[in-house]
Structure 1
Amino acid sequence: MMDNEAKRIQELYPEYSDVELKPTSFGERLRQIRKEMGETQDEFATRIGTSKQVLSRYEGGQRIPKISLVESYAKALNVSVDYLMGESQQESAFDSICTQSDKPFYKIFIDVTMEMGLLIPDIVRITGLTDRQVRTIIFRRMKEAPLPIALQLSKTLDVPLEVWTGNESYKVGEISPEAKEVARAYDKASLKDKNTARLALDLEPVREEKRE
């Protein structure tokens, strides 16, 4: 049964549905670190202070340790608890510099893109995020902005990183995302294509600069 927030999201995006996710689990992260170290399960189990049998169950997703054990394993492997629980190193570092916000990322994302008049296809086209990524943010109610996505949104929508982390309020810009999209394409265009566009907009043509 949908709660009120789920109903609101479905009303905003009636043609779209939720997506299924397979997050990186604790066991998958352990296996990844072990393989990067080139160690057997026996060697790795000794390193973190457990048995091969327990490690095997962790890696197979059959067992999850208490947080005190996760902290112990993280210390033995010289990684953060967040990273061991599935976050990337960049995301863990990013989270550590973000202040806690009352407004979750997905709400900021919806508010900013709605303010810009962007529907999901527009967001995909302008930001370079996939349809799946956008729907994951919205329908899975992503609480915190992953660093790569926050950086990509900041660059393509010209919105400060602090807005996506909840540290600043969004201020409507004078230039629309579509105009910025056109400007980026114009900068990459040939002189001929630039002048074709300028002609259509009743602007003076530009001339190729002569090099002495």
Structure 2
Amino acid sequence: MATFGQRLRKIRTDNNLTQKDFGILFKLSESAIGMYERDEREPPFKFANDIADHFDVDTDYLFGRTDIPKSRIVNSKDQTEFEAFINNPEHGIFFRDYLSAPEERREEMREIFKILQEKEKGRKPGDIQGES
């Protein structure tokens, strides 16, 4: 697995930032960025969180615990809305196997549902599906 410094350098270079630019962005010196990239210095928790938030990656990715930059997490509100939707008799035909499906398949179905919800935001009754 990659180190924090390797991931930091990759994110910086993938975004065409010099160490100086990166330092300005996060209010750190160029030498501090260099030390983090060489793994000579451990990053403060806030700095790691700021990088994760700014570049939309997980801290587990930054610290080399996973090679997946951003995990797909379904929160409990999304889960509840999804299950209410599939338990509606009008919708249940399509999702009848959801509750008995393996967790991996259920996660995929929730992701599809989130995509459909996003596409339908702002749609009014009478609008053609997929148009808002």
Superposition TM-score, scaled by structure 1 size: 0.32
Superposition TM-score, scaled by structure 2 size: 0.48
Query: Rg: which structure is higher?
Result: 1
